[in-house]
């Protein structure tokens, strides 16, 4: 019985090398060369090709090689087996680095200084205190809470929004549709770390941007989305920037990835783009995590981080 590496859009060779080193006694097959699908017990997946897992009659568990699982639930022939996602401090630290970096880029007006430098201009502009800036984090899960607490430690006012109610010492928490408007009304920098599910699809749209605070230290609100591209309506981001409903956006994820060469985002002066690497999955770290879970399962224990298929995250 073997493992299968079902990976698209990542460097498969790095995962093969790492898996061979970490689990030399375990046979594995790599898509698209799954020659014995009946041998596959565990699918280790990142954006697996839809329908592939349905060909594996002895499949017992699907592991996501990241925190998100939308790339797995998007397969409408997904076998009815547990889906397990990764929760690992490495992913949280990397994501918080990204969020803190980009909040600070906007807060400290770094793009303005980049332009000054390009013009050879020595000029200082006014700078608000972090305590005057309200950062709103959509998604108070493993990644959202870590980022929110780190921002709080830097002195920002931090609010958060999630599906179910939360009570966190340092963060003002809002939940569900009822709490959304109040949360948005007091957000100067919106950080999105939601999963992409039917309930969150397209949530980052023009109507939502209009509800953000427009009297904060930056004048216009800023969007940072490192959740998923399916959360955002890209045409709405462009028109919100054109109409002054948004002041700037940092985007790590896109409706279509890789971002098309023709996208106006590439050259937009108020948009910062990164290639879905806010929190990259390191093969050694993630595979150690997954192999530990397999050992627990094989010893008859209870695996952690099994995803609720009803909520889809």
Which positions are catalytic?
Answer: 228, 276
- Confirm if 72 and 64 have CB atoms less than 8 A apart: yes
Q: Which is nearer to ligand NDP, 10 or 28 (CB)?
A: 10
294 touches ligand OXD by CB under 6 A: no
Q: Give the full edge-to-edge strand order of the sheet including 189-192.
A: 172-175, 157-162, 134-138, 189-192, 222-225, 248-251, 271-273
278 touches ligand NDP by CB under 6 A: yes
Exactly one of 194, 208, 237, 286 binds ligand NDP (CB under 6 A); that residue is 194
- Confirm if 191 and 98 have CB atoms less than 8 A apart: no
Q: Give the full edge-to-edge strand order of the sheet including 40-46.
A: 28-30, 2-7, 40-46, 61-64, 83-84
Contacts of ligand OXD in 50-69 (CB under 6 A): 66-68
Angle at 162 between CA 159 and CA 163, to 5 degrees: 155
Q: Give the residue from 75, 93, 106, 88 showing the smallest Cα distance to 191.
A: 106
Per-residue x/- mask for ligand OXD, residues 241 to 280, rule CB under 6 A? Answer: --------------------------------------x-
74 touches ligand NDP by CB under 6 A: no
72 touches ligand NDP by CB under 6 A: no
Cis peptide, bond prior to residue 5, ω within 30 of zero:
no
223 touches ligand NDP by CB under 6 A: no
203 touches ligand OXD by CB under 6 A: no
140 binds, options ligand NDP, ligand OXD, none, Cβ within 5 to 8 A by partner type: ligand NDP
194 binds, options ligand NDP, ligand OXD, none, Cβ within 5 to 8 A by partner type: ligand NDP
In this structure, the dihedral spanned by the alpha carbons of residues 223, 196, 74 and 98, taken in order and rounded to 10 degrees, is 60
- Confirm if 48 and 68 have CB atoms less than 8 A apart: no
Residue 64 CB, nearest approach to ligand OXD (Å): 7
Exactly one of 143, 158, 173, 241 binds ligand NDP (CB under 6 A); that residue is 143
Chain positions contacting ligand OXD, by CB under 6 A? 66-68, 279, 281
């Amino acid at each position: 019985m073997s493992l299968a590496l079902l990976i698209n859009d990542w460097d498969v060779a790095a995962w093969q090398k790492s898996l061979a080193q970490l689990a030399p006694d375990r046979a594995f097959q790599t898509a698209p060369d799954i020659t014995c699908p009946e041998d596959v017990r565990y699918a280790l997946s990142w954006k697996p090709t839809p329908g592939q897992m349905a060909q594996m009659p002895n499949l017992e568990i699907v592991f996501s090689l990241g925190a998100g699982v939308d790339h797995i639930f998007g397969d409408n022939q997904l076998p009815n087996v547990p889906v397990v996602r990764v929760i690992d401090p490495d992913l949280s630290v990397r994501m918080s680095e990204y969020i803190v970096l980009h909040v600070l880029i906007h807060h400290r007006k770094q793009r303005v200084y980049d332009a000054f430098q390009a013009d050879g201009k020595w000029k200082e502009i006014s700078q608000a205190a972090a305590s005057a800036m309200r950062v709103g984090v959509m998604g108070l899960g493993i990644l959202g809470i870590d980022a929110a607490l780190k921002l709080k430690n830097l002195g920002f006012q931090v609010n958060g929004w999630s599906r179910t109610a939360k009570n966190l010492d340092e963060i003002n928490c809002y939940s569900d549709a009822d709490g959304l408007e109040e949360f948005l009304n007091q957000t100067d920098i919106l950080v999105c770390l939601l999963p992409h599910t039917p309930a969150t699809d397209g949530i980052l749209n023009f109507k939502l941007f209009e509800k953000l605070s427009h009297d904060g230290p930056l004048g216009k609100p800023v969007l940072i989305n490192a959740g998923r591209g399916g959360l955002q309506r890209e045409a709405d981001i462009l028109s919100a920037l054109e109409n002054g409903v948004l002041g700037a956006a940092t985007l790590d994820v896109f409706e279509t990835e890789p971002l098309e060469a023709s996208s106006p985002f590439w050259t937009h002066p108020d948009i910062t783009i990164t290639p879905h690497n806010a929190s990259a999955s390191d093969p050694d770290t993630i595979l150690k995590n997954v192999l530990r879970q397999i050992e627990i399962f094989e010893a008859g224990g209870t695996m952690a981080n099994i995803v609720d298929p009803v909520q889809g995250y």
